[in-house]
């Protein structure tokens, strides 16, 4: 472990020098790459620095343990106990930080929220969940770009898709994929009965050009048609909506939110590329999915991962058995505690499961 920590520290120092060089500054893509690697190592290097500082303090304290003054010895024994506990805690932190990371952790994401079973109530909650993630992103100073929105008459959303960009977005939100269940009394319920509805959430790492290669001539069929629904004066008067069919897989993506056909085409391609990338990742990870099942969740879209119970002010994540009695705060974007606990569970599994699953921490 300590050899790896020394290597990480050395690499961090090299990157600090490299990021200030004129050659790197003149190449924006390379500058971003170096900055991301530097950021990914910073937490490890800082924790290792704390570990070494604690070790030095523990060693210096040993001499005081034999001091002839009993009061000094008593203070030294108390400090010895505290330092050893702090070193043990720091060691656990370092082991977690050294756990191989998911290569997608630094990626932006495409967030897809869709109403499931439950009719209008499901659509209403889909809209609320989408706003929950947008508020969480706002708190993290991430950028949210709406890619597609299919609203209902009652103010809900049949489907909402957005690109969320920022630092390590996928690492924070990757465990949100799955079926979210809501239990509450709908506003239209006259007898006060609690109804159960579901919403599906997909968190897909944004695909880059190097990830998925698409031959737009041979692989795609692109149809244009007139938009429908809200959207301004140009709706139903110009062929601005775009439908893209990926012929090798049959995957279809439509986009009609923009008045410009070019912008709709660009957004549709972004969604298509991301969905293809997610499908390829799912195929590659299929062999490891069984080992994770029942521990921290598989990310399968049909799996119920969380329940939001409004009458009891309760949010329960079924994968880790965590219940929080602060539902209003959660739906207003306070997801940090949930995400932290899910991340800890994933890291613990990776540490216990060995190398094959380690890259999914």
- What domains does the chain contain, in order, with CATH numbers? 2-97 (no CATH), 109-206+285-358 (3.30.70.1660), 220-277 (3.30.160.20)
Question: Among the listed ranges 57-71, 121-135, 224-238, 273-287, which one has the minimum average pLDDT value?
Answer: 224-238
Question: Among the listed ranges 84-98, 129-143, 327-341, which one has the minimum average pLDDT value?
Answer: 84-98
Measure CA of the first residue to CA of the last residue in the chain; give whole Å.
17
In the predicted model, is pLDDT for residue 359 greater than 70?
no
In the predicted model, is pLDDT for residue 348 greater than 70?
yes
In the predicted model, is pLDDT for residue 232 greater than 80?
no
What per-residue confidence (pLDDT) applies to 246? Answer: 92
What per-residue confidence (pLDDT) applies to 294? Answer: 38
What per-residue confidence (pLDDT) applies to 209? Answer: 58
pLDDT band of residue 141 (cuts 50, 70, 90) is: very high
- Alpha carbon distance 184, 307 (integer Å): 11
In the predicted model, is pLDDT for residue 292 greater than 60?
no
What per-residue confidence (pLDDT) applies to 17? Answer: 83
Average of per-residue pLDDT across 41-45:
86
Average of per-residue pLDDT across 305-326:
95
pTM, rounded to two decimals:
0.62
Average of per-residue pLDDT across 1-17:
85
What per-residue confidence (pLDDT) applies to 258? Answer: 81
What per-residue confidence (pLDDT) applies to 309? Answer: 96
What per-residue confidence (pLDDT) applies to 351? Answer: 63
Longest dimension (CA), the chain: 93
């Amino acid at each position: 472990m300590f050899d790896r920590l020394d290597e990480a520290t050395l690499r961090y120092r090299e990157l600090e020098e490299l990021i200030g060089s004129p050659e790197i500054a003149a190449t924006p893509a390379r500058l971003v790459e170096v900055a991301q690697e530097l950021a990914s190592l910073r937490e490890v290097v800082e924790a290792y620095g704390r570990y070494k500082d604690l070790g030095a303090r523990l060693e210096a304290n040993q001499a005081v343990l034999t001091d002839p003054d009993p009061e000094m010895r008593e203070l030294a024994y108390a400090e010895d106990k505290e330092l050893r506990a702090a070193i043990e805690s720091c060691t656990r932190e370092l082991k977690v930080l050294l756990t191989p990371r998911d290569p997608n952790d630094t990626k932006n994401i495409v967030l897809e929220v869709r109403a499931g079973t439950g009719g209008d109530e499901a659509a209403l909650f889909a809209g609320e969940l989408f706003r929950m993630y947008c508020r969480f992103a706002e708190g993290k100073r991430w950028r949210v770009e709406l890619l597609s929105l299919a609203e209902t008459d009652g103010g809900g959303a049949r489907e909402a898709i957005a690109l969320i960009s920022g630092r390590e977005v996928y690492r924070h939100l990757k465990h949100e994929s799955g079926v979210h269940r809501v239990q509450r009394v709908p506003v239209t319920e006259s007898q006060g009965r609690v109804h159960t509805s579901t919403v599906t959430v997909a968190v897909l790492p944004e695909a880059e050009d190097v990830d998925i290669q698409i031959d737009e001539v041979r692989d795609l069929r692109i149809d244009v048609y007139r938009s429908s629904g809200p959207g301004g004066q140009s709706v139903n008067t110009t062929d601005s909506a775009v439908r893209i069919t990926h012929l090798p897989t049959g995957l279809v993506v439509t986009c009609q939110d923009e008045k410009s056909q070019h912008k709709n085409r660009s957004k549709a391609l972004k969604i298509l590329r991301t969905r293809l990338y997610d499908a390829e990742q799912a195929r590659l990870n299929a062999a490891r999915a069984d080992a994770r099942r029942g521990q921290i969740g598989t990310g399968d879209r049909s799996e119920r991962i969380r329940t939001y119970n409004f009458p009891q002010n309760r949010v329960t994540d079924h994968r880790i058995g965590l219940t929080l009695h602060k539902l209003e705060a959660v739906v207003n974007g306070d997801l940090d505690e949930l995400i932290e606990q899910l991340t800890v569970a994933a890291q613990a599994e990776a540490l216990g499961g060995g190398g094959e699953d380690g890259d999914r921490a």
